[in-house]
Amino acid sequence: MNDTIEYFIEDIEKFLKINEESTGEESLSLKKLLSVADKIKIFKNIDLLDLRAIVYDVKFKRYKLKDYIVEQGQLKKEIYFIIDGECQVLFNTTKIGTLRAGEAFGEAGAIFGTKRGATVICASKQATLLSFKIDEENIDFCAPAIATLYKNLAYEINTKLNALNTRAATKIVPLHPS
């Protein structure tokens, strides 16, 4: 199932321009995120008021071919969502996958506070990504929304693990061929 969301180039330019501006307590990046949250499946079933309370440090950024987005071993709390373009996932120096528009990454490191398990680089001429952090300080106030976000992120993680398991299973040679 490919739930790729298409953004117009004008939308992407707005995302990037918004990072340069802010109004008081709430950044325009967060406002733009809230305006497109219904198109981002990791925010499915989360009320916009709750989303406003549980995400922070929202950024939209454009990367060029071969730019590093995250490096294996880093300890970072950001979760990334690809708006347009493609990214390659590398374990050590081996390519293990490709991520496309509409997909998220960095969920496990953000949720569990662990080091990044892989390097992610831009694999297209350019890619626009959204990054954000989860504000767990508001857990008492927004527990249902954070639970929904974690459920959505767990679904993303599970989908990726299933794809990796399927790929690995096709490469397994049985010990006792029939």
DSSP character at residue 133: E
Residues 127/84, Cβ–Cβ less than 8 Å = yes
Model confidence pLDDT, tens digit, residues 111-120: 888 999 999 9
**Does pLDDT of 170 surpass 80?**
no
**Least confident interval from 18-32, 55-69, 93-107, 152-166:** 18-32
In 10 A of CB 142, how many CB atoms? 22
55 phi, psi to nearest 5 deg: -120, 150
**Does pLDDT of 22 surpass 50?**
no
- Give the chain's mean pLDDT: 81
Segment 131-143 mean pLDDT = 82
Residues 83/15, Cβ–Cβ less than 8 Å = yes
In this prediction the pTM is: 0.76
**Does pLDDT of 156 surpass 80?**
yes
Residues 171/147, Cβ–Cβ less than 8 Å = no
The rounded distance, in Å, linking the Cα atoms of 110 and 76 is 7
In 10 A of CB 11, how many CB atoms? 17
Model confidence pLDDT, tens digit, residues 57-95: 888 899 999 999 999 999 989 999 999 999 999 999 899
The rounded distance, in Å, linking the Cα atoms of 34 and 36 is 5
Nearest to 127 by CA among 65, 59, 36, 75: 65
- The pLDDT of residue 152 is 92
CATH class of the domain defined by 9-171: mainly beta
